[in-house]
Amino acid sequence: MVPGSGQLRWAKLAPLFGVLVVAAALVGILHPPSSFLALIALVFFGLVMLYGCFLAWRLLGAWDLAIKDLLGQQSALEVECDRHRNALDELADGLAIVIFLTDRTGKILYANRAAQDAFGLGEPSGLAILGVTISQEVNEMVLQAASGQPARRELVLRHPRDRSYVVGTWQEASVEGRVFISMVDISELRYLERVRRDFVANVSHELRTPMTTIRAMAETLQDDDPEDQELRPRYLSKIVREVDRLTTITDDLLILSTVEASNLQKSEVDLAELLRVCVQQLVPLATEKGLVLGYQGPYCVKGMFNGDQMTQVFLNLIQNAVNYTGRGTISVRLMDRDDDILVEVEDTGIGISADQATRVFERFYRVDKGRSRASGGTGLGLSIVRNIVEAHGGRVSLESELNRGSTFRVSLPKT
């Protein structure tokens, strides 16, 4: 505790009483008749001076303690500040949002980890935001914010790769001329929007074709022209075919949306048995085309799957193999591995070129539209396969060579 102002006043008076002691001593020496009075004054002033010195000594000791205490508090505050700064850095580094702090000219003072990753930066401090983002718009937004006008805009940055961001810039409240930049990556969102738009356009297109045919046939039948009488059965069977086609498309669309929307219900399934049943079901179709279709693998391999969805996957793959193979064999193989189960569907059919192979899993993508339609395909089969397999935590891949055949591989975790 620091002593109060009374003690301080006494301590301050100590030198004055020191002077009075000297004065009393001089009076005693220079004027002997007053020496007794001078002695009393000397003793009195001397005692007061000693008391003042004592207080001054105590004060110095107390101040020393108080200074030590303050220094301790200061270093504790510094530690606390460091802790907060580190916590802020960790928070900023943990965010998926890109964050920069720049000076008023756009020179980077700080960049969080997401910013460093997004723009491939090593030590970002000192670099210009224009050089890092290669975007005049971002640079202008920073300058605008530095002059007190916050900004927010959606931008497509081309560097280091095409990404869509919602960019925000605003001035730091406590330090004028320092600008925060936040960039939220919305590329995925924009991509999904594009996919949804394309999907709706594709569905409309796929539905419109059979509907146009049905309408044309129905109108012809409506005319009831006697010359068309013998064509009636042909028109009617074409209408039925197109309605079947519409039904197949809507069925496939329903399967797709069910797979995407629902929680996967798994139960113990013997995949070997399921594959044998699928093969059995399609052997007549294959035999009709002169193809040999068979299953090779263990008798029983159990795992946790959605049985209906797995049946859908393998019927799609085997049916495709039959559809796109002119002659030869289709082999369905199962391998029970340590961590997963691998199923291969191999055919000796028309094959798929490397550039098409990456696209065949897209919705409505067909290499040969006419051929797919002729075999009753919708262009959704492989997309359904991929969705189901990925919902099970598995992977589907394709190895193919044009005019030699294709092998679709499905790997599935057992649990």
Contact 379, 399 (CB under 8 A): no
Single out the segment in contact with ligand ADP by CB under 6 A; choices: 79-87, 135-143, 171-179, 348-356.
Answer: 348-356
The DSSP-derived string for 341-393 is EEEEEEE-SS---HHHHTTTTSTT--SSHHHHHHTT--S-HHHHHHHHHHHTT
- What is the C-alpha to C-alpha distance for residues 396 and 320, in angstroms, rounded to an integer? 15
Q: Does 352 bind ligand ADP (CB under 6 A)?
A: yes
CA–CA separation, 27 and 37 (whole Å)? 9
Provide, rounded to whole angstroms, the least separation between the CB of residue 282 and ligand ADP: 13
Of 306, 347, 386, 411, the residue at the interface with ligand ADP (CB under 6 A) is 347
Report residue 2: phi and psi, to 5°.
Answer: -85, 130
Does the footprint of ligand ADP cover residue 100 (CB under 6 A)?
Answer: no
135 binds ligand ADP (CB under 6 A): no
Of 28, 303, 377, 394, the one binding ligand ADP by CB under 6 A: 377
Of residues 133 and 400, the one with the C-beta less far from ligand ADP: 400
Residue with tokens 């303050």: 70
Environment class of 73 (CB within 10 Å of its CB; exposed 0-12, middle 13-18, buried 19+): exposed
Window 291-320: residues binding ligand ADP (CB under 6 A)? 316, 320
Note whether 367 binds ligand ADP by CB under 6 A.
yes
Determine, following the binding rule CB under 6 A, whether residue 368 of this chain makes contact with ligand ADP. Answer: yes
Nearer to ligand ADP, 56 or 384 (CB): 384
Q: Which residue has the tokens 């280091």?
A: 160
Integer Cα distance of 363 and 199 in angstroms: 7
Site for ligand ADP in 15-54 (CB under 6 A): none
Residue 350 interacts with ligand ADP (CB under 6 A): yes or no: yes
Quick check: bond before 233 cis, omega within 30?
A: no
Residue for token digits 């394309």? 198
Q: Is 321 in the site for ligand ADP (CB under 6 A)?
A: yes
CB-side neighbour CA atoms (13 Å) of 105: 5
Q: Does 406 bind ligand ADP (CB under 6 A)?
A: yes
In the complex with ligand ADP, the residue whose CB is nearer, 301 or 382, is 382
CB of 107 to ligand ADP, least distance (A): 53
The answer to whether the beta carbons of residues 367 and 352 sit under 8 Å apart is yes
Using CA atoms, how far residue 200 sits from 156, 194, 207, in Å, is: 25, 10, 11
Nearer to ligand ADP, 340 or 346 (CB): 346
* Size of interface with ligand ADP, in residues (CB under 6 A): 22
Please give the residue ranges that form the binding site for ligand ADP (CB under 6 A): 316, 320-321, 324, 347, 349-350, 352, 360, 365-368, 372, 377-383, 406
